[in-house]
Amino acid sequence: MTGFVCESVGFRYATKDGSIDALQDVSFAAGGHEIVSVVGPSGCGKTTLLKLLAGILDPTAGAIRFSPDLNGSRPKRALVFQDHGVFPWLTVVDNVAFGLEMQGVGAAERRARARRFLERVGLEDFADRHPHELSVGMRQRVGIARAFVSDFPILLLDEPFGALDAQTRLLLQEELLGIWQGERKLAVFITHDIEEAILLGDRVLVMSGRPGKILEEIPVPLPRPRALAAPDRPEVTEIKWHIWHHLEKEARRQLSIPD
Amino acid sequence: MILGALALWEILVRIGLLSPLYFPPPTAVGRRLWELFVDGTYPDHGRVTLSRMGFGLLVGTSLGFLMGVAMGRSAPLRRILDPIIGALYPIPKIAILPLIMIFLGIGESSKLFVIALGAFFPMLISTLTGVIHIPSIYFEVAATYGSGPLALLRRVILPASLPTVLGGFRIALNSAIHITIAVEIVSAVTGLGSLVWFSWETLDVEKLYATLTVIAVLGVVTTHGVNRLSQKLVPWRT
Ligand SMILES: Nc1ncnc2c1ncn2[C@@H]1O[C@H](COP(=O)(O)OP(=O)(O)OP(=O)(O)O)[C@@H](O)[C@H]1O
Ligand SMILES: [Mg+2]
C-alpha cells in the first residue's frame, strides 16, 4: 500500500537572525486511497509540511517513512504549489508537460497528454500562450494540470483552489475527486476553507498556530462518491463549527487577542 | 540629423573655418573609405579584427557563463572566488597584455587571451547575478519532478537567467570590441586597430577618420544584431 508515516516531525528554518520553528512533533500516517485534508491558521507550517512530504525539505527532527521504500526508491509525489510555480519561459502546454518531460516521455506524447488535461481545467485555448498572458487563477490551474498529468501515486495540494472563483473552484474540486476516484491516489490537501476540507477529505487534520502541531484529527463520516454542490448537511455543519472553534482559538492566540 | 551634421562639416571645411588637416571633409573621407574598401584593405583587416573579437568573445563568454552558473549554485565556491574576482575585474585588461606576452609570447595567443578575458568578466558577473536571483520555487518545482543536472540547466537555470545573461553578453561584446582594437593598436600589424595606429604614424588623417568610421559601423552593427537576437530569444515576461 502506498503511504507514509510522519514520526514526531519537526522543522526549524535557519535564518540570518536566529531560527524559526515552523513545525513541532507532527505525527500522523496516511495511506492507500484517501484524501487527508489539513487546515490551520496562516503561518502555522502547512506549506512547510507539504515541502517535507515532497522531499524539498528534510525534517530537522523526527522522520518521514514512505512505503513502499525499495532501497530508497519511494513513491513519487506531485506537489501543487501555493504560488503555482509555473515557468514564465515555457508555453502553457510545455509547463503542464514538464513533469512528463523530466520522466523522459517523448515530445509528441507528452504534449498530447498535457493538452487533454488542459481541456479538463478549461485552458485548451491557451495551450500555446505564455503564462504572463494568463490570470492568476488560470496559472493556478496550469500548476494543477502539471501535477495531475504526471500521474504520481501521491498528490500534495497546497491551497490549490485559493485563487479561483466559486464556480471554477467547484468544477475543479469535482475534477480532483474524479481523478482521485479513478486513479486511486493518495492525496494530502491543504486549504483555508473548512468546508472544502470536510467535503473533500476522509479526515481533517487541524493544526495549531506556529510552531504547527496537530491538534486533532477529525474523521469525516460522509459516504463516497460525494456530491459537492449538495445543500448543507447537519453533520458537515457540526464538524465545521467544531473546527471553527479550534481555529478561532488559535487565531486569537497568534494575534494575541484575549477570548 | 547625421547627414545634416556631415553637410555642415563639409561646408565649414570648404569655406575655410575648419582646417582639413584636422578635419578632412566628409567627401574626402568617404572617397578614401571606398578606395580602401575596394582594394581589399578593410575587408582583409576587418576580417582579422572580427575573427579575433569573435574568438575571444566566444571563449570568454562561454567560460564566463559556466563559471557564473557554478558560482551561482554554490555558496562555498562564491565565498572562495568572490574576492579574487573582485580584485581582478577592475584591472583594465589591456594593462596586463605585456604580462601575458611574457607567458604566451608576442603572437596571436596572448592577444586572444586578453580579449577573452575582457569578455569573460562581464559575462561571469551577469550570469552569477542572474542565477542567484532565480526564485527558489523554480528549483523546487524541478526537484519535485526529478530533474537531473542537465535538464535543470537547460530548462530552468538557462531560461530563468537568460535576460540577465544576454545583458552580460552585450557588455561582453562591447568589452571585446574595445579590447580587440586596443590590442591591435599597441601590438599588431594586422586588424583595424593597427590601421588606426599606422594612419597616425603616417599622419594620414583621412585614413584615420575612414578607419574609425569602419570601426564605429562594426560596433553598431554587432550591438544591434545582439539586441535583435535577445528580443527574439526572450518572448516571455516574468
Ligand atoms: N524560507 C523560510 N525561511 C524562514 N522562515 C520561513 C521560511 N518559509 C516559511 N517560514 C516560516 O515558517 C512558518 C510556516 O510557514 P509556512 O509557509 O509553512 O506556513 P503556512 O501554514 O503554509 O501559511 P499560509 O497558510 O499563510 O500559507 C512561518 O512562520 C514562516 O514565517
Ligand atoms: Mg502555505
User: Any idea of the CA torsion for B27, B28, B29, B33, to the nearest 10 degrees?
Assistant: 100
Are the Cβ atoms of A102 and B138 closer than 8 angstroms? no
A43 and A148 together in one domain: no
Query: End of a domain among A152, A169, A193?
Result: A152
Q: What number is the ipTM of this complex?
A: 0.90
What torsion, rounded to 10 degrees, do the Cα atoms A44, A48, A52, A56 define?
180
Q: Do A81 and B156 touch (CB under 8 A)?
A: no
Domain B26-233 falls in which CATH fold?
A: MetI-like fold (1.10.3720)
Domain membership of residue A116 as a residue range: 86-152
Same domain, yes or no: A144 and A168: no
- Residue A200 and residue A166 share a domain: yes
**Residues of B contacting chain A (CB within 8 angstroms):** 137-138, 140-148, 151, 155-156, 159-160, 162, 234-238
Among A122, A152, A182, the domain boundary falls at A152
Q: How far is the CA of A45 from the centre of ligand 2 (A)?
A: 7
Q: What whole-number distance in Å separates Cα of residue A47 and Cα of residue A24? A: 14
Which residues of A lie closer than 8 Å to B, measured between beta carbons?
Answer: 51, 54-56, 76-79, 81, 83, 85, 87-90, 98-99, 101-103, 130-132, 150
Query: What pTM was computed for the model?
Result: 0.87
The verdict on residue A120 lying in a domain is yes
Q: Which three cell numbers stand for residue B211?
A: 578607419
A12 and A65 belong to one structural domain: yes
Mapped onto helix, strand or coil, the DSSP state of residue B23 is coil
Taking the CA of residue A50 as reference, the ligand 1 atom at the shortest distance is 18
Residue A239 lies in a domain: no
Region A155-165 average pLDDT: 90
pLDDT in tens for each of the 238 residues of chain B? 888 888 888 888 888 888 888 888 888 899 999 999 999 999 999 999 999 999 999 999 999 999 999 999 999 999 999 999 999 988 988 888 888 888 988 889 999 999 999 999 999 999 999 999 999 999 999 999 999 999 999 999 999 999 999 999 999 999 999 999 999 999 888 999 999 999 999 989 999 999 999 999 999 999 999 989 888 888 777 6
- Nearest ligand by distance to the CA of A24: 1
In angstroms, the CA A161 to CA A158 distance is 9
Q: Does A158 lie in the same domain as A68?
A: yes
Residue A146 has pLDDT above 90, yes or no: yes
Instruction: Give A89's contacts in chain B (Cβ within 8 Å).
Output: 159-160, 162, 234, 236
Residue A128 lies in a domain: yes
Buried b (16+ CB within 10 A) or exposed e, B121-154: bbbbbbbbbbbeebeebbbbbbbbbebeeebbee
Reference A23, options A51, A3, A65; nearest CA is A51
Q: Which of A134, A152, A170 is the last residue of a domain?
A: A152
Would the pLDDT of A90 be above 80?
yes
| pLDDT for A230 | 67
Quick one: A124 and A162 in the same domain? no
Asked whether residue A110 falls in the same domain as residue A57, the answer is no
Shared domain check, A12 and A59 = yes
What is the domain partition of chain B in residue ranges?
A: 26-233
In a domain, A182, yes or no: yes
- Residue A5 sits in the same domain as residue A111: no
Residue A160 contacts residue A8 (beta carbons within 8 Å): no
In angstroms, the Cα distances linking B175 to A150, B69, B79, B197, B202 are 46, 21, 26, 20, 28
DSSP string across chain A: --EEEEEEEEEEEEETTEEEEEEEEEEEEEESS-EEEEE--TTSSHHHHHHHHHTSS--SEEEEEEES-BTTBPPPEEEE-TT----TTS-HHHHHTHHHHHTT--HHHHHHHHHHHHHHTT-GGGTTS-GGGS-HHHHHHHHHHHHHHTT-SEEEEESTTTTS-HHHHHHHHHHHHHHHHHHT-EEEEE-S-HHHHHHH-SEEEEEPSSSB-EEEEEE----SS--TTSPP-HHHHHHHHHHHHHHHHHHHHHHT---
- A191 in any annotated domain: yes
| pLDDT bracket for residue A236 (50, 70, 90) | confident
Coil, helix or strand at residue B146: coil
| Rounded Cα distance, B36 and B210, in Å | 9
Tell whether the model's pLDDT for residue A231 goes beyond 80.
Answer: no
A41 Cα nearest atom in ligand 1: 25
Establish, for the pair of chains A and B, how many residue pairs have beta carbons separated by less than 8 Å.
61
pLDDT for the residue B184: 94
CATH of the domain at A52: 3.40.50.300
Inter-chain residue contact B138 with A132, CB threshold 8 Å:
no
Number of domains within chain A: 2
Is A165 contained in some domain? yes
Residue A170 sits in the same domain as residue A45: yes
Among residues B229, B80, B78, B91, which one has the least CA distance to residue B165?
Answer: B229
Chain A closest CA to B235's CA: distance in Å? 8
